[in-house]
Structure 1
Amino acid sequence: MMLTPKLRSSYLTTHSRYTKLRFCSSSSSSSSSWSGLQSWRESPLNEDRFWGPNGPQPLLQSPHSSPATPLPLEASASSLAEFGSLVLSTSCPLTKSKLSHLAFTRWRNQNLPIGLCHPPSPPARPPNPRLVSPKEIPDPKNSGLPLNAYLLHNLAHVELNAIDLAWDTVVRFSPFYDILGEEFFADFAHVADDESRHFAWCSQRLAEIGFSYGDMPAHNLLWRECEKTSDNVAARLAAIPLVQEARGLDAGPRLVKKMVGFGDQRTSSIVARIAEEEIAHVAVGVYWFTSVCQKMNRVPCSTFKDLLKEYNLELKGPFNYSAREEAGIPREWYDSSSIKKEPEENRKSSQQLSEVYDRLACIISMESEHSSLNRPSR
């Protein structure tokens, strides 16, 4: 399929209202990249898809491993985009997770091209969980699940959606390979692989405590955010890594603390590792959003805020400032209070409070691990 320069350009540009640049501050036109980004890109394939007694380990080393499920990737997939489309077309959550890892592995090991493909929309979904409006999601007390299973189910749902969100970005924007470059697709395929591993951990832990993904209703908000940004790569980067995944950075410490309070140290360790690895995904979003803005000759801060309004993307606090800063998101992009001339001592005080909170959660986690007063997890 041949695309005219005009069509190619329109996929990268935003609407005409963004032609007038609005500078937020001298620091808003650039962001400091996460220091671990290049190491993450160059890291070997991660086969630690089972959560063992001491943390992640390869599935084959586990005595609890189930027989390998046949994976239908032999068909006609000869490129990364075609593999991604197969993942998106797979409804079984565990198979989708395994296919995602196999797709990324095949692409890396066999030096396949990015290719060109069109994604299924929406992606295939299992009959359960039943998708309902956010208002219909039961609260923990009325869900029929203990708190650790309730929170794990919600996290598993986020991770399953994240697999599809990353592959949809790879497949949907594959026609614009010559503009975005191979590294763009490599990064988001890598993100999809990470998310598939996270879902495997959540699914495993749910099974260990007697539950499974699909035991309670879930919402479809994450995919709706993906759908409404299908026509614009800058909007997609704003909506998914910089809004949705950044929320994971905010919620991670709180979720860890809840699991510790519930007495489920094993689940808290899984959640903590997932939250730590999400920093790379947000950093990838920052890197490529800034890169696309540079191609459009636009200022990232003002463009991000315009896209929030245009696509009705909502920012919700409280924000984990230290994690967001580590991932490279400038505070003025998402925190309106920082645009005002905030006293330097107040800004430092806020950052210190955030860091104290993070350290406190870590201390609580370590103390709970050695405490005999904790209730044992199921």
Structure 2
Amino acid sequence: MVNSILEQLLERATPKVDAAEVYFLSSQDTPIQFENNRLKSLQTKAKQGVALRVISNGKLGFASSTDLTRLDDLIEAAIQTAEIADPVEFEFAKNYHHSTPKTSYTFPTTQELVELGQSLIEQVHNYNSEILVNVDFEIETEFIQIATTDDVFAEQSHQILSGSLGGNLVRGEDFLEIYTYDIAGDRPLDSEKLLSDLIQKYQLAEQKATISSGSFPVLFTPRAVAMVLGRLFKTVLSGQAVVQKSSPLSDKLGQTLFDSRLTLLEDPQLGPNACDFDDEGTPTTRKTLIDKGTVQGFYWDRQWAVRGQVEPTGNGFRGGLSRPGPSLANLCMSPGSTSTEDLIASMDEGIIVDQVLGGRSVQPVGGRIFGQFGFGL
């Protein structure tokens, strides 16, 4: 059925437009949420639809729909938007065929996850019954197909199981919120590590600490580095930001601007968010963006690559059935030579940052659109 929809759209659109690109998405999302020690919600949301981009009279049109019975209306809507659009500067992907094998791993059932959540709450309370425990699981599955009038057909599927365990401990006017998380694509969640990490952090925080006035070292753990620097570099290394001159690195290609120990790269084959091609049908590649402090390159979708007079790098991604835009699949920082434990041991007095307020919005839990940050020390 899915192939038929793509074929029908391309067949019907071809006589009316210069070129066409069809993007099909079928997804299912099941969040399970425990809040303050109790199951709060369990639901399943499913979505299926197509997004159509056309080049008509040299202009780009776009339309999307979840109604797969009105394909002609979708084509007409895309053509109408092209009439009022600016001239298009890029071409759709060409001559690419690929099918990513599906994983054979089966996730736990919702009932099993509910029971796991209840068990985690009980085990946290065995340590301290005053902690208000929050547990979140989310099962996401996604199937994507893309085809163009220039001989492109590609398909891939993703499945992601994310889990977070957190707690709030209130004493007088003080409160302490701690959380841990894990993400899996072809394995069970490491619930034992979630539990042990959470309890260990509460144990470390049992005694209030003070620090003298003065200058002291501040250590950001790998997770905190991802939270603080991940979104920053995602912004300044975007080809769109470079062309628009909104990135401070726009004219710094080849210059050494950072510490020689800093290397940033994107590896689209890493982890549960791995992808062989982007949402425009462009193959993804492993690329070094900053090498030992030197700016080596940026990431591009097809539209901004033309404007930047470079080749697209396979970084055109969508949020649902939206238009594609430049984004990263897996941003990684190469590890240093000293472990986190040794860095902590080297500090006589200082501050360790492991979480930041608002940081959970950029943690890599669920959703390819946000990418994944794999920073390490």
Please state which band the TM-score falls in when normalised by the shorter chain: under 0.3
Which is richer in helix?
A: 1
- TM-score by structure 1 length? 0.23
Q: Comparing both chains, which one has the higher relative contact order based on Cα–Cα distances under 8 Å and sequence gaps of 6 or more? A: 1
Which is richer in strand?
A: 2
- Look at both structures and tell me which one has the larger radius of gyration over its CA atoms: 2
